[in-house]
A and B are shown apart, each in its own frame.
Chain A
Amino acid sequence: DVVMTQSPLSLPVTPGEPASISCRSSQSLLHDNGYHYLFWYLQKPGQSPQLLMYWISNRASGVPDRFSGSGSGTDFTLKISRVEAEDVGIYYCMQGLHIPLTFGQGTKVEVK
């Protein structure tokens, strides 16, 4: 199985400041079609996960542009340009190229 490793696992943030989460996969996530099958989800407190980003850097519908994704091959990053209070929760990366689909351990983002 493809192992997805996130860091850090806990991220205290100050509203208005930037934040960054890293995700590394144990195998390449590059499909023959040229897309990397790397996705980001956010699980807000008391809610189910919601899709944030697909194919590394494409924001899902309704996701604010303060969220951005980057990376290639096996190393990926999710950035929040200016954290807002509503951004707290657990962020997960997920690979969709190899079966079984696998998720990172999650990064808990909390306001300081």
Chain B
Amino acid sequence: EVQLVESGGDLVQPGGSLRLSCAASAFNFNNYHMYWIRQDPGKGLVWVSRINQDGSATIYADSVKGRFTISRDNAKNTLFLQMTSLRVEDTGVYYCAKDGGRSNPDYWGQGTLVTVSS
């Protein structure tokens, strides 16, 4: 069964940086777009970023553009999110998700908590 395991979440001060990782298994990782999606403390879901199969095309939500960078290592079946200049409003659980082939996430990881606070 598809497995996505996120890591790297932590408590960080405003202006700080963090790198999230997502280890994928049980599917052909390099055949699929991948996503990062944040769940706010109030439970709202916010799409953050998407990367294509070979990493040549990325797209971001306006709120994170210029601060976050999505990347992937297909040799290691791993997705990354480099987060810089973090803001309080970036706080939440970050999920990585696999594309279902219809411009939608189908499988989601268990999430990793990022807390931005002084």
> What residues of chain A have their CB less than 8 Å away from a CB belonging to chain B?
35, 37, 39, 43, 48-51, 54-55, 60, 90, 92, 94, 96-97, 99-103, 105-106
Query: Can you sample 9 A-B contacts with CB below 8 Å?
Result: A43-B43, A50-B108, A55-B102, A92-B45, A100-B47, A101-B35, A102-B47, A106-B43, A106-B45
Number of chain B residues close to chain A: CB under 8 A: 22
The 10 closest A-B pairs by CB, nearest first: A96-B103, A101-B47, A103-B45, A48-B108, A96-B104, A39-B104, A51-B106, A100-B47, A100-B61, A49-B108
Residues of B within 8 A of A101 (CB): 35, 47, 50, 103-104
Known: A39-B104, A48-B95. 18 other contacts (CB 8 A): A37-B102, A48-B108, A48-B109, A48-B110, A49-B95, A51-B105, A51-B106, A51-B107, A54-B100, A55-B102, A94-B45, A96-B103, A97-B103, A101-B103, A103-B47, A106-B43, A106-B44, A106-B45
Could you tell me the distance in whole angstroms from the C-beta of B100 to the nearest C-beta in chain A? 7
Could you tell me the distance in whole angstroms from the C-beta of B11 to the nearest C-beta in chain A? 21
